[in-house]
Structure 1
Amino acid sequence: MYNLGDTSSLKMKLFLLLVLAAWHQAAAYPTKVEKVENVNDIINGYSCAYGSIPWQVFLTYKTDKGDHFCGGSLINQWWILSAAHCQGIPGTMVVRLGEHILSANEGTEQFIYAAKQIRHPNYNPQVFDNDIMLIKLAQAAQYNQYVYPIPLPSSCVATGTWCTVSGWGNMVTNGVVNANALQCLNQPIISTADCQHAYPYDYTNNMMCSGFMQGGQSTCQGDSGGPLVCNRQLQGIVSWAYKCALKGYPTVYTKVCNYNAWINQIMSNN
């Protein structure tokens, strides 16, 4: 498990692009009684400015159901924070940092294998409660303009705060058109009451909603595990939703501020 630099990085990128073409519909976005799907990209967002989301990572990995991809966030030189449902078979996950256009070799990429994947011990895949996972890199990421960590939250974010979500997933509500360039969407935090009203049987205190109740813009398949950043702090992890950009059903995020102690304990012990 090593950083695949320079020539090896280009070869790996070309290989991964062929894999992506073969399983463009296999983004980690498990279905929950047809109703709830894990989410992974941006509907009606915009192309992020190159280098503006330096903590964003692209995860490729295998499960017993095939090849998948997810998003994640660099939180220090050794650790990535993502969604628990993005866990892959050990030894198969490659963490791609410094990416912007997936099909291009931009010279800013770092490809590093995952050494450990540590799910929250109370993760519940039926309702996606505690949908959070730490990934330890096989070697330290090298910080630069395009690879840099996002701080954990100093406190929970307030309703109405505007935040930015990012990812490479599906950009259409019907069919599959995965993003090549990293996509962004600016959106507000939705009140707990509105989130509970949208999802009365599935919402827990470890979740929060962000997006637009009127629909039309949201994350979608292909970007699970990605960051929701508010005031330069990582407040949410893309987790699940009912369909994509549907009126009355905003995206649900893992509420990172509930997990600071667990995150720090895992990093300290590993």
Structure 2
Amino acid sequence: MPPTCSVLDFFEGGSDSCISAHTLFLCLCPTRETLVAPWCAAVSCRVWCPGVMAVPRGIEISAGQRGFKRELRSTMTDTKAWTGTTMKAFIVLALFAVAYAAPIEDDKIVGGYECRKNSVPYQVSLNSGYHFCGGSLISSTWVVSAAHCYKSRMSVRLGEHNIAVNEGTEQFINSAKVIRHPRYSSRNLDNDIMLIKLSKPATLNSYVRTVSLPSSCASSGSRCLISGWGNMSSSGSNYPDRLRCLDAPILSDSSCRSSYPGQITSNMFCAGYLEGGKDSCQGDSGGPVVCNGQLQGVVSWGYGCAQRNKPGVYAKVCNYNSWIRSTMSSN
């Protein structure tokens, strides 16, 4: 019998081992028509784990593009449908891995605008040969990101604007420790927060700065800035090289819960526009939601991107101040 892999792992035929999830998803629809797409959002489509090797990409799945949600475990023979609340999730066959390497794993803001260069100095890019998630610098040695972006080792890129070129403002620093919240759940993305300790302190300057942790939780209606290199398209792939920004309000808890019945915990909030058209997307995962100069949210998940009545869902950073500070002081 093949092993039962964790939600973020997939079974590799012939080796009796689980492999870590990594990027595009190969969707197998009822018509037997296969589709390589940024996500398998259609309720009728199923994720197919072929015998060769399916590498779910970190940007969507383990590395985060904007999150995903799976309620079923995956093995080589698992072809059960994802639930209708399935989030954006990328899976790519190994033979596609090289061709799609860097750009496919990045997702960007839908309906936003190009950020003024170096105007978001706390924004970082998590990189493992390609950008796969965002993050926020909260001290010279610590970064906050999403737990579903976890990789044991990564390069943290600071001072970035155009991730396709060297602009002379960048600092590339390897991770020394990557610490997920101890109560993170990959089943519903509760406690979707993670800390990354840098191998050396970042040099703080006009291009690289920290963002403050929240002094209190933000109220609904608060205007916030969301940023990232995620997908700019709600129905396809369009990944920018330059950092994108989106101004969006925090939605009421009632609106958030009615948009995702039974899926919102006390550690989550929604932000964006119920009419759709503007949202964070795949590749933005782990990135910042900053309101009044304070880090209030971490890009976590959502159904599709910029869809009506399906706003983005974010980890509520104000609930984690104690955990963040105690983890930093003990590591």
TM-score w.r.t. structure 1 length?
Answer: 0.86
User: Which residue among 203, 214, 230 is the counterpart of 1:169?
Assistant: 230
CA contact (8 A) 2:58 2:149 kept: no
Larger helix fraction of residues: 1
Q: Deviations over 1:225-266 (max 9, x none)?
A: 000000000000000000000000000000000000000000
- In structure 1, what is the equivalent of residue 252 of structure 2? 191
- In structure 1, what is the equivalent of residue 210 of structure 2? 149
Larger strand fraction of residues: 1
Q: Distance in 2 between matches of 1:198 and 1:173?
A: 18
SS in 2 for 1:179: coil
CA contact (8 A) 2:270 2:312 kept: yes
CA contact (8 A) 1:38 1:224 kept: no
Cα offset, 1:38, TM superposition: 5.4
- In structure 2, what is the equivalent of residue 77 of structure 1? 140
Cα offset, 1:105, TM superposition: 1.1
CA contact (8 A) 1:83 1:237 kept: yes
CA contact (8 A) 1:29 1:240 kept: no
Q: Distance in 1 between matches of 2:196 and 2:86?
A: 25
User: Which residue among 123, 134, 148 is the counterpart of 2:184?
Assistant: 123
The alignment status of 1:56 with 2:119, answered yes or no, reads no
Cα offset, 1:174, TM superposition: 1.8
User: Which residue among 314, 319, 322 is the counterpart of 1:253?
Assistant: 314
SS in 2 for 1:224: coil
How many pairs align? 242
SS in 2 for 1:243: coil
Identity over aligned pairs, percent: 51
- In structure 2, what is the equivalent of residue 36 of structure 1? 86
Cα offset, 1:202, TM superposition: 1.0
Q: Deviations over 1:85-120 (max 9, x none)?
A: 0001x23x0000000011121100000000100000
SS in 2 for 1:76: coil
- In structure 1, what is the equivalent of residue 51 of structure 2? none
Q: Distance in 2 between matches of 1:233 and 1:97?
A: 19
- In structure 2, what is the equivalent of residue 222 of structure 1? 283
Cα offset, 1:201, TM superposition: 1.8
CA contact (8 A) 1:36 1:240 kept: no
Q: Distance in 2 between matches of 1:173 and 1:259?
A: 31
Cα offset, 1:41, TM superposition: 2.1
CA contact (8 A) 1:27 1:221 kept: no
Query: Would the alpha carbon gap of residues 208 and 27 (structure 1) be closer, same or farther in structure 2, given more than 3 Å must change?
Result: same
Q: Distance in 2 between matches of 1:254 and 1:112?
A: 25
CA contact (8 A) 1:206 1:255 kept: yes
User: Which residue among 168, 175, 179 is the counterpart of 2:240?
Assistant: 179
- In structure 2, what is the equivalent of residue 6 of structure 1? none
- In structure 2, what is the equivalent of residue 13 of structure 1? none
Query: Would the alpha carbon gap of residues 27 and 182 (structure 1) be closer, same or farther in structure 2, given more than 3 Å must change?
Result: farther
- In structure 2, what is the equivalent of residue 45 of structure 1? 112
Q: Distance in 1 between matches of 2:88 and 2:293?
A: 24
Q: Deviations over 1:153-201 (max 9, x none)?
A: 0000011011000000111112211111000000000000000001112
The alignment status of 1:107 with 2:168, answered yes or no, reads yes
Cα offset, 1:29, TM superposition: 2.0
AA of the residue aligned to 2:330: N
Cα offset, 1:60, TM superposition: 1.4
Higher relative contact order (CA 8 A, sep 6+): 1
AA of the residue aligned to 1:113: N
CA contact (8 A) 1:60 1:95 kept: yes
Query: Over the residues paired in the alignment, what is the CA RMSD in angstroms?
Result: 1.8
Query: Would the alpha carbon gap of residues 68 and 180 (structure 1) be closer, same or farther in structure 2, given more than 3 Å must change?
Result: closer
Q: Distance in 1 between matches of 2:145 and 2:252?
A: 23
The runs of 5 or more residues in structure 1 that have no matched partner are 1-19
Q: Distance in 2 between matches of 1:98 and 1:38?
A: 28
Q: Distance in 2 between matches of 1:97 and 1:190?
A: 30
